[in-house]
Structure 1
Protein backbone atom coordinates (compact mmCIF):
# COMPACT_ATOMS: atom_id res chain seq x y z
CA UNK A 1 0.00 0.00 0.00
CA UNK A 2 1.31 3.38 -0.94
CA UNK A 3 0.87 6.41 1.35
CA UNK A 4 -0.35 9.54 -0.45
CA UNK A 5 2.14 12.36 -0.84
CA UNK A 6 0.00 14.86 1.08
CA UNK A 7 -0.03 12.74 4.29
CA UNK A 8 3.24 14.02 5.74
CA UNK A 9 2.36 17.75 5.37
CA UNK A 10 -1.12 17.06 6.76
CA UNK A 11 0.27 15.38 9.86
CA UNK A 12 2.77 18.20 10.43
CA UNK A 13 0.00 20.76 9.89
CA UNK A 14 -2.17 18.99 12.48
CA UNK A 15 0.65 18.91 15.04
CA UNK A 16 1.55 22.58 14.51
CA UNK A 17 -2.13 23.56 14.62
CA UNK A 18 -2.69 21.69 17.89
CA UNK A 19 0.32 23.42 19.44
CA UNK A 20 -0.88 26.82 18.20
CA UNK A 21 -4.39 26.28 19.55
CA UNK A 22 -3.00 25.21 22.91
CA UNK A 23 -0.70 28.23 23.18
CA UNK A 24 -3.41 30.69 22.15
CA UNK A 25 -6.00 29.02 24.38
CA UNK A 26 -3.87 29.18 27.50
CA UNK A 27 -2.63 32.71 26.72
CA UNK A 28 -6.13 34.09 26.26
CA UNK A 29 -7.54 32.20 29.31
CA UNK A 30 -9.86 30.22 27.05
CA UNK A 31 -8.29 27.10 28.51
CA UNK A 32 -7.39 27.00 32.21
CA UNK A 33 -5.98 24.40 34.53
CA UNK A 34 -8.11 22.99 37.32
CA UNK A 35 -6.19 24.97 39.95
CA UNK A 36 -6.77 28.21 38.03
CA UNK A 37 -10.45 27.37 37.67
CA UNK A 38 -10.69 26.72 41.41
CA UNK A 39 -8.93 30.00 42.14
CA UNK A 40 -11.28 31.88 39.82
CA UNK A 41 -14.35 30.25 41.38
CA UNK A 42 -13.18 31.10 44.90
CA UNK A 43 -12.56 34.70 43.91
CA UNK A 44 -15.97 35.04 42.28
CA UNK A 45 -17.76 33.47 45.24
CA UNK A 46 -15.96 35.80 47.67
CA UNK A 47 -16.95 38.82 45.56
CA UNK A 48 -20.55 37.59 45.45
CA UNK A 49 -20.60 37.11 49.22
CA UNK A 50 -19.27 40.63 49.81
CA UNK A 51 -21.83 42.05 47.38
CA UNK A 52 -24.63 40.18 49.13
CA UNK A 53 -23.59 41.13 52.68
CA UNK A 54 -22.78 44.80 52.14
CA UNK A 55 -26.47 45.86 52.27
CA UNK A 56 -26.72 44.21 55.70
CA UNK A 57 -23.83 46.38 56.89
CA UNK A 58 -25.55 49.50 55.52
CA UNK A 59 -28.83 48.41 57.14
CA UNK A 60 -27.06 48.07 60.49
CA UNK A 61 -25.83 51.65 60.05
CA UNK A 62 -29.35 52.80 59.24
CA UNK A 63 -30.65 51.50 62.57
CA UNK A 64 -29.07 54.59 64.13
CA UNK A 65 -31.18 57.66 64.73
CA UNK A 66 -31.03 60.25 61.92
CA UNK A 67 -28.92 62.57 64.09
CA UNK A 68 -26.44 59.80 64.86
CA UNK A 69 -26.37 58.79 61.20
CA UNK A 70 -25.41 62.33 60.23
CA UNK A 71 -22.70 62.47 62.89
CA UNK A 72 -21.29 59.07 61.95
CA UNK A 73 -21.27 59.93 58.23
CA UNK A 74 -19.43 63.16 58.99
CA UNK A 75 -16.88 61.25 61.08
CA UNK A 76 -16.51 58.65 58.33
CA UNK A 77 -15.97 61.36 55.73
CA UNK A 78 -13.20 62.88 57.87
CA UNK A 79 -11.32 59.57 57.98
CA UNK A 80 -8.68 58.99 55.34
CA UNK A 81 -9.85 56.74 52.54
CA UNK A 82 -7.68 53.80 53.61
CA UNK A 83 -8.95 53.92 57.21
CA UNK A 84 -12.66 54.09 56.49
CA UNK A 85 -13.04 50.31 56.61
CA UNK A 86 -11.44 50.33 60.07
CA UNK A 87 -13.98 52.97 61.17
CA UNK A 88 -16.89 50.84 59.92
CA UNK A 89 -15.45 47.77 61.67
CA UNK A 90 -14.96 49.71 64.92
CA UNK A 91 -18.61 50.77 64.84
CA UNK A 92 -19.64 47.11 64.56
CA UNK A 93 -21.49 47.48 61.27
CA UNK A 94 -19.22 45.01 59.44
CA UNK A 95 -19.95 42.24 61.94
CA UNK A 96 -22.65 40.14 60.36
CA UNK A 97 -25.46 38.69 62.45
CA UNK A 98 -24.40 35.30 63.78
CA UNK A 99 -20.68 36.05 63.45
CA UNK A 100 -18.38 37.12 66.25
CA UNK A 101 -15.71 38.68 64.03
CA UNK A 102 -16.09 41.50 61.49
CA UNK A 103 -14.98 41.17 57.89
CA UNK A 104 -12.42 43.59 56.46
CA UNK A 105 -13.73 43.10 52.94
CA UNK A 106 -17.31 43.83 53.98
CA UNK A 107 -16.07 46.82 55.98
CA UNK A 108 -14.35 48.20 52.92
CA UNK A 109 -17.38 47.69 50.66
CA UNK A 110 -19.70 49.09 53.32
CA UNK A 111 -17.54 52.20 53.76
CA UNK A 112 -17.74 52.77 50.00
CA UNK A 113 -21.54 52.47 50.10
CA UNK A 114 -21.79 54.79 53.11
CA UNK A 115 -19.60 57.35 51.35
CA UNK A 116 -22.15 57.37 48.52
CA UNK A 117 -24.73 58.42 51.13
CA UNK A 118 -22.63 61.48 51.98
CA UNK A 119 -22.76 62.59 48.33
CA UNK A 120 -26.53 62.85 48.27
Structure 2
Protein backbone atom coordinates (compact mmCIF):
# COMPACT_ATOMS: atom_id res chain seq x y z
CA UNK A 1 0.00 0.00 0.00
CA UNK A 2 1.35 3.39 -0.95
CA UNK A 3 0.93 6.17 1.61
CA UNK A 4 0.63 9.80 0.58
CA UNK A 5 3.87 11.74 0.75
CA UNK A 6 2.50 14.28 3.27
CA UNK A 7 1.55 11.58 5.80
CA UNK A 8 5.08 10.69 6.93
CA UNK A 9 6.03 14.20 8.19
CA UNK A 10 2.61 14.50 9.85
CA UNK A 11 3.06 11.22 11.74
CA UNK A 12 6.60 12.17 12.75
CA UNK A 13 5.35 15.54 14.02
CA UNK A 14 2.57 13.87 15.99
CA UNK A 15 5.05 11.41 17.57
CA UNK A 16 7.47 14.21 18.46
CA UNK A 17 4.62 16.28 19.89
CA UNK A 18 3.41 13.36 22.00
CA UNK A 19 6.94 12.80 23.34
CA UNK A 20 7.34 16.49 24.22
CA UNK A 21 3.88 16.58 25.80
CA UNK A 22 4.68 13.52 27.95
CA UNK A 23 8.04 14.97 29.00
CA UNK A 24 6.54 18.33 29.97
CA UNK A 25 3.58 16.71 31.69
CA UNK A 26 5.64 14.39 33.87
CA UNK A 27 8.40 16.94 34.53
CA UNK A 28 6.48 20.13 35.19
CA UNK A 29 2.81 19.29 34.85
CA UNK A 30 2.49 17.22 38.01
CA UNK A 31 1.57 14.02 36.21
CA UNK A 32 2.44 10.81 38.07
CA UNK A 33 2.17 7.13 37.32
CA UNK A 34 -0.44 4.96 39.00
CA UNK A 35 2.08 3.39 41.37
CA UNK A 36 3.40 6.79 42.44
CA UNK A 37 -0.14 8.01 43.05
CA UNK A 38 -0.87 4.94 45.20
CA UNK A 39 2.34 5.49 47.19
CA UNK A 40 1.52 9.15 47.79
CA UNK A 41 -2.05 8.30 48.79
CA UNK A 42 -0.83 5.62 51.20
CA UNK A 43 1.65 8.00 52.82
CA UNK A 44 -1.00 10.70 53.18
CA UNK A 45 -3.46 8.21 54.67
CA UNK A 46 -0.84 7.11 57.21
CA UNK A 47 -0.25 10.74 58.21
CA UNK A 48 -3.99 11.32 58.61
CA UNK A 49 -4.44 8.19 60.74
CA UNK A 50 -1.59 9.22 63.02
CA UNK A 51 -3.05 12.73 63.32
CA UNK A 52 -6.40 11.20 64.29
CA UNK A 53 -4.83 8.94 66.92
CA UNK A 54 -2.63 11.52 68.66
CA UNK A 55 -5.58 12.98 70.63
CA UNK A 56 -6.24 9.49 72.03
CA UNK A 57 -2.62 9.26 73.13
CA UNK A 58 -2.87 12.68 74.77
CA UNK A 59 -6.09 11.66 76.50
CA UNK A 60 -4.41 8.53 77.86
CA UNK A 61 -1.57 10.71 79.12
CA UNK A 62 -3.97 13.07 80.87
CA UNK A 63 -5.86 10.24 82.57
CA UNK A 64 -2.81 8.26 83.66
CA UNK A 65 -2.32 8.49 87.44
CA UNK A 66 1.46 8.08 86.93
CA UNK A 67 1.71 10.78 84.27
CA UNK A 68 3.71 13.11 86.52
CA UNK A 69 6.46 10.53 86.94
CA UNK A 70 6.47 9.74 83.24
CA UNK A 71 6.63 13.42 82.28
CA UNK A 72 9.59 13.88 84.63
CA UNK A 73 11.27 10.94 82.88
CA UNK A 74 10.50 12.46 79.49
CA UNK A 75 11.98 15.81 80.50
CA UNK A 76 15.21 14.16 81.64
CA UNK A 77 15.51 11.82 78.69
CA UNK A 78 17.26 12.48 75.42
CA UNK A 79 15.14 13.06 72.35
CA UNK A 80 15.58 9.56 70.94
CA UNK A 81 14.66 7.91 74.27
CA UNK A 82 11.39 9.75 74.74
CA UNK A 83 9.43 7.58 72.31
CA UNK A 84 10.40 4.43 74.22
CA UNK A 85 9.38 5.98 77.54
CA UNK A 86 6.01 6.95 76.10
CA UNK A 87 5.51 3.45 74.68
CA UNK A 88 6.40 1.88 78.04
CA UNK A 89 3.83 4.13 79.72
CA UNK A 90 1.23 2.65 77.36
CA UNK A 91 0.03 5.96 75.98
CA UNK A 92 0.76 5.05 72.35
CA UNK A 93 -1.14 1.76 72.57
CA UNK A 94 -4.58 2.43 71.15
CA UNK A 95 -7.68 0.90 72.71
CA UNK A 96 -8.16 -2.58 71.30
CA UNK A 97 -4.56 -2.83 70.09
CA UNK A 98 -1.92 -5.09 71.57
CA UNK A 99 1.12 -3.10 70.46
CA UNK A 100 2.02 0.56 70.47
CA UNK A 101 2.36 2.46 67.24
CA UNK A 102 5.78 4.01 66.71
CA UNK A 103 4.34 6.70 64.45
CA UNK A 104 1.71 7.66 67.02
CA UNK A 105 4.34 7.61 69.77
CA UNK A 106 6.63 9.95 67.83
CA UNK A 107 3.81 12.38 67.09
CA UNK A 108 2.54 12.22 70.67
CA UNK A 109 6.01 12.90 72.07
CA UNK A 110 6.24 15.99 69.85
CA UNK A 111 2.91 17.24 71.17
CA UNK A 112 3.74 16.54 74.83
CA UNK A 113 7.26 17.95 74.52
CA UNK A 114 5.85 21.21 73.22
CA UNK A 115 4.23 21.75 76.63
CA UNK A 116 7.48 21.69 78.62
Pick the TM interval, shorter chain: 0.7 to 0.9
Q: Paired residue for 2:24?
A: 24
CA separation of 1:11/1:35 partners in 2, compared to 1, >3 Å: closer, same or farther?
same
Q: Paired residue for 1:91?
A: 89
Distance of 1:29 and 1:117 partners within structure 2: 42
Secondary structure of 1:117's aligned partner: coil
The number of equivalent residue pairs is 113
1:3-18 matches, within 5 Å, as 11-18=11-18
Unaligned stretches of 5+ in structure 2? none
Q: Structure 1 length normalisation: TM-score?
A: 0.80
Deviation at 1:29, TM superposition (A): 6.6
Deviation at 1:35, TM superposition (A): 1.1
Deviation at 1:72, TM superposition (A): 2.4
Unaligned stretches of 5+ in structure 1? none
Alignment counterpart, residue 72 of structure 1, candidates 64, 67, 70: 70
Q: Structure 2 length normalisation: TM-score?
A: 0.82
* 1:8-50 Cα deviation digits (max 9, x unpaired): 6665443323212211222247221111111111101000000
Q: Paired residue for 2:109?
A: 111
Secondary structure of 1:82's aligned partner: helix
Secondary structure of 2:91's aligned partner: coil
CA-atom RMSD, angstroms? 2.2
